[in-house]
Amino acid sequence: MQRNLNARIDLLLQQFPVVAIIGARQVGKTTLAKLLRPKWHYVDLESPSTQDAILPDPEMFFKNYPNGVILDEAQSFPIIFNVLRGIIDANRQIKNRFIITGSSSPELLKHLSESLAGRIAILELGTLKSNEVAGIPLSSFYQWFEYNFLTIDPKELRINSQQIPGNFIENTWFYGGYPEIVLEQNNKSRNNWFEFYERTYLYRDIASLFPGINRDNFQRFFRMLSHLSGTILNKASLARDLEISQSSAHSYLNIMEGTFMWHNLKSFERSHYKSLVKMPKGYFSDSGLLHYLTQMQNIDVLRQHPMLGRSFEGFVVNEIFKGLQTLSIGHWDLFHYRNKHGAEIDLILEGAFGLLPIEIKYGIRVEKKQLFTLSKFIAENNLKFGIIINQASNIEWITPQILQIPVGYI
């Protein structure tokens, strides 16, 4: 499967000596690195034999392999970063030298940033996006973000890409995007795979990275959080329900986000209203893992489940996040908006392009009352437009300032 990040990683390798591909386990980091540089020397830093060969004298290893090396699962060997910095600085002008992959370590980014600042580009690889599963190019929707939305007529914006077929959307939504699950799409295999994936995450990764953690409490937190995906997170309430301290709840949530299991959306607070809810909203980063943890055994169960709307919302948010990861547009961020009267907007994108508010609806039809908060936000922030993402068939302006885009174009 071709990944959407291929071109961007290849470009960054021409600009930096090192590119780091980070993300959860089993999302395809190693496969992607080998695909991009098939002739490079591959080193698995989790292998005890590799560690025995390199750890006593990493300088000698890099003397023998000064270029063209893939360093896999680098969180297992943090000492290597300081050595690597010296090797790079000895020939700073040379680019395209190393790919580093890493997962399941909040400390990994810290090591990379501190040791290799200015020498490295860092990208997060998520699970497969729907277009990757369908084998079609990324939607031209993401080219919109190269414009300034305040200076362009939104009626000029077009999506010329092929729409992703509904069956690929539904299957990717239910099964998630872990490559092995996508290739199987079998409920029995899915359950077995996710069972061992959860066990590995809790009892190997978390246990080794945080040896002092109460694993029983963290497992309960992990499971409870699956039922809260797509909700405003009240850490005090979460701590009370689990009978843990609020500081533990805060720490556990940071671990979940740092190990790429969870994405937090901050509250959008740049508003003249004082009645905003300022707590974060979050989602599991893969819908298939979410459905496994909440015991949804098939798509029919999902369609009848109370979490249906929140699950679809989280799926779309993660699809957009993966699409934005492919762009070279500088800093951008994702927010949610909600006030104390219950008015909310699911997703607000902010970057050099300006602001884009997005409502996400599971159904096909949109009632006028569902557009009130979005329309009001557009007017109050002097925006030209916002969008609704749903399961309709056609792209169309449903009001002069609100564009409906079917999820298959995202």
Provide CB contacts within 8 A for 255, sequence distance 6+. 106, 206, 210, 213, 218
Give me the pLDDT at residue 131, please: 96
Non-local (6+) Cβ contacts of 294 within 8 A are 226, 227, 305, 307
Secondary structure class of 6 (helix, strand, coil): helix
The domain segmentation of the chain, as residue ranges, is: 6-124, 130-409
- pLDDT (0 to 100) of residue 1: 79
DSSP tally for the chain: helices H, then strands E: 18, 13
What pLDDT shows up at residue 108? 78
Q: What is the SS3 assignment for 98?
A: strand
β-partners of residue 348 are: 335, 357
**In this predicted structure, what is the pLDDT of residue 273?**
58
Model pTM above 0.75: yes
Q: Please give the pLDDT value at position 275.
A: 65
d(C-alpha 337, C-alpha 357), whole Å: 9
Tell me which H or E stretch contains 237. Answer: helix 235-242
Predicted local distance difference test score (pLDDT) of residue 406: 98
Q: How many Å apart are CA 133 and CA 361, to the nearest integer?
A: 22
pLDDT score at 276: 76
- What is the predicted pLDDT for the residue at 194? 96
Give domain 6-124's CATH architecture. Answer: 3-Layer(aba) Sandwich (3.40)
Regions of the chain with pLDDT less than 50: none
CA-nearest of 410, 384, 381, 380 to 399 is 384
